[in-house]
């Protein structure tokens, strides 16, 4: 068992000329999985009317998604070793698309089960992508490569913000779910021709029976990895709360229309995509991903506090400026974080470390939106709640500095 991760990482390398294809496909898989997670949030007011519940309840639905993600991230390394990273990515697409389709059934139980299934898919995306990207990237460009791949998250959110409200208003929310669910399912077929070449390093005799918390234990035994993963708990709580409640804040607090709010959501997610590429490039230039993560955390603190100044009827430019700054920071950190995990991981265990680090990361997503919803119940305003939530980004900043000290 000790030798499994090393064998996993030292298998047949993908030709470096295929780097662009690997990055493109892993980015697209990430985007489609993210699209499926954020479609409900993009039309939360519409779903609230359909189910007769408050809009803030969408926070609990997002928590269900990431409960599923935690479960599959714990077993992802074994699946990658046995099936191959690309086949695992196809499983991610299958879970995400099928879960969103199931959520179209007008039942709270089906909606909840479908949300967990979407989470199953989402939890497999990062470890499988890490396994592929490690095999085609050089250390000096790794932050940029990982950050480029992580643009799939805001790109998927942009697609959700643009497509879901329009499809929902045109065809109804259930057809919107079904139409969007068809896209990741079709992608499974599109990537199949790459399976034989990219999954040559799989071990068909490897057992899937292992201690599911072994990779998490590895993270906990390495102080720098532990602290950087706990920081990701904070960052992911803020990121997903922003993606989940931005539309509802714009509609209920600032009196925006649903489609107009979706456009703003797309803009802040586009800023997040820009942030991921930019921060990755800066981290490579400085050869210091930790310092970049600390700076991004401080910007997220400022953006969260600035959200409190937004008022109904206020300047549209101010709304876009504040939320795009929020997106640039609170959504832009992931690629640098994943590259840091790969750098700090014991030799040959990058995908295992990623799977372990995803547990606290997804736990932040699990706790974040639900905590945000509780805090909103106390404040009654989403703008004020975002301002108070800036404290979470500040805690993440402190943890990043702690990881830097422990590594030194």
pLDDT in tens, 320-330: 999 999 999 99
Model confidence at 70: pLDDT above 50: yes
| Range of weakest confidence among 66-75, 286-295, 382-391 | 66-75
Q: Residue 53's CB: how many other CB atoms inside 10 A?
A: 14
Distance (Å, whole) CA 121 – CA 119: 5
Place of tokens 């109804």: 172
Model confidence at 12: pLDDT above 60: no
More confident residue, 283 or 407: 283
Model confidence at 6: pLDDT above 60: no
DSSP state of 362: H
Highest mean pLDDT among 270-284, 318-332, 340-354, 365-379: 318-332
More confident residue, 226 or 216: 226
Distance (Å, whole) CA 93 – CA 128: 12
Model confidence at 351: pLDDT above 80: no
Model confidence at 333: pLDDT above 80: yes
| Confidence tier at 208 by pLDDT (50, 70, 90) | low
Report the predicted TM-score, pTM, of the whole model to 2 decimal places: 0.74
Distance (Å, whole) CA 287 – CA 276: 16
Burial profile 243-270: b = 16 or more Cβ within 10 angstroms, e = fewer: bbbbbbbbbbbbebebebbbbbbbbbbb
Distance (Å, whole) CA 80 – CA 84: 5
More confident residue, 215 or 353: 353
| Range of weakest confidence among 191-205, 295-309, 393-407 | 191-205
Model confidence at 51: pLDDT above 90: no
Q: In this predicted structure, what is the pLDDT of residue 365? A: 80
Model confidence at 295: pLDDT above 60: yes
Architecture of the 4-196+212-407 domain: Up-down Bundle (1.20)
| Confidence tier at 183 by pLDDT (50, 70, 90) | very high
What is the arithmetic mean of pLDDT over 173-184?
94
Q: In this predicted structure, what is the pLDDT of residue 209? A: 60
More confident residue, 304 or 17: 304
- What are phi and psi for residue 206, nearest 5 degrees? -65, 140
**Of 385, 388, 363, nearest to 373 (Cα)?**
385
Which residues are CB-neighbours of 383 under 8 A, at least 6 positions away? 249, 253, 254, 307, 308, 309, 310, 311
| Confidence tier at 210 by pLDDT (50, 70, 90) | low
Residue pair 404/290 in contact by the 8 Å Cβ criterion = yes
Q: In this predicted structure, what is the pLDDT of residue 80? A: 87
Distance (Å, whole) CA 264 – CA 306: 16
The structural domains of the chain, with segments of one domain joined by +, span 4-196+212-407
| Confidence tier at 2 by pLDDT (50, 70, 90) | very low
> What average pLDDT does the chain have?
86
Model confidence at 400: pLDDT above 50: yes
Q: In this predicted structure, what is the pLDDT of residue 309? A: 93
The percentage of residues in the chain with a pLDDT greater than 90, rounded to a whole number, is 39
| Confidence tier at 9 by pLDDT (50, 70, 90) | very low
Q: In this predicted structure, what is the pLDDT of residue 266? A: 82
Which residues are CB-neighbours of 281 under 8 A, at least 6 positions away? 143, 144, 147
Place of tokens 């700054």: 325
Indicate the Cα dihedral angle 73, 78, 81, 82, nearest 10°.
Answer: -120
Distance (Å, whole) CA 366 – CA 192: 32
| Confidence tier at 16 by pLDDT (50, 70, 90) | low
What is the arithmetic mean of pLDDT over 101-106?
92
Q: For the segment 77-90, what is each residue's pLDDT rounded down to a tens digit? A: 788 888 888 999 99
Model confidence at 131: pLDDT above 90: no
| Confidence tier at 1 by pLDDT (50, 70, 90) | very low
DSSP state of 14: P
């Amino acid at each position: 068992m000790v030798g499994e991760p090393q064998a996993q990482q030292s298998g047949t390398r993908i030709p470096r000329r295929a780097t662009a294809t690997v990055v493109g496909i892993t980015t697209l898989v990430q985007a489609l999985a993210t699209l499926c997670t954020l479609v409900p949030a993009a039309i939360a007011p519409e779903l609230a009317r359909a189910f007769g519940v408050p809009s803030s309840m969408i926070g609990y639905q997002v928590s269900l998604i990431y409960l599923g993600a935690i479960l599959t991230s714990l077993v992802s390394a074994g699946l990658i070793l046995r099936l191959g990273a690309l086949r695992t990515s196809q499983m991610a697409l299958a879970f995400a698309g099928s879960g969103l389709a199931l959520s179209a059934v007008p039942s709270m139980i089906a909606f909840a089960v479908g949300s967990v299934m979407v989470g199953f898919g989402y939890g497999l995306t990062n470890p499988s992508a890490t396994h592929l990207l490690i095999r085609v990237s050089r250390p000096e460009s790794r932050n940029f490569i990982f950050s480029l791949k992580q643009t799939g998250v805001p790109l998927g959110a942009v697609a959700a913000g643009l497509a879901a409200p329009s499809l929902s208003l045109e065809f109804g929310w259930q057809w919107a779910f079904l139409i969007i669910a068809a896209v990741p399912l079709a992608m499974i077929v599109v990537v199949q021709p790459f399976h034989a070449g990219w999954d040559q390093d799989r071990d068909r005799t490897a057992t899937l029976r292992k201690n599911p918390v072994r990779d998490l234990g590895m993270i906990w035994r390495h102080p720098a990895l532990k602290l950087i993963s706990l920081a990701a708990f904070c960052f992911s709580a803020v990121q997903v709360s922003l993606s989940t409640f931005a539309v509802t804040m714009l509609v209920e607090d600032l009196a925006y229309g649903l489609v107009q709010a979706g456009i703003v959501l797309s803009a802040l997610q586009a800023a997040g995509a820009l942030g991921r590429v930019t921060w990755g490039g800066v981290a490579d230039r400085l050869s210091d991903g930790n310092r970049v993560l600390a700076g991004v955390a401080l910007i997220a603190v400022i953006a969260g506090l600035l959200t409190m100044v937004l008022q109904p009827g206020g300047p549209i430019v101010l709304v876009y400026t504040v939320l795009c700054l929020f997106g640039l920071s609170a959504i832009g950190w992931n690629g640098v974080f994943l590259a840091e995990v790969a750098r700090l991981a014991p030799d040959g265990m990058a995908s295992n470390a990623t799977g372990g680090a995803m547990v606290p990361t997804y736990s932040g997503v699990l706790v974040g939106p639900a905590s945000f919803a509780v805090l909103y119940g106390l404040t009654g305003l989403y703008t004020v709640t975002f301002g108070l939530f800036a404290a979470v980004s500040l805690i993440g900043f402190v943890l990043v500095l702690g990881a830097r000290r422990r590594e030194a």
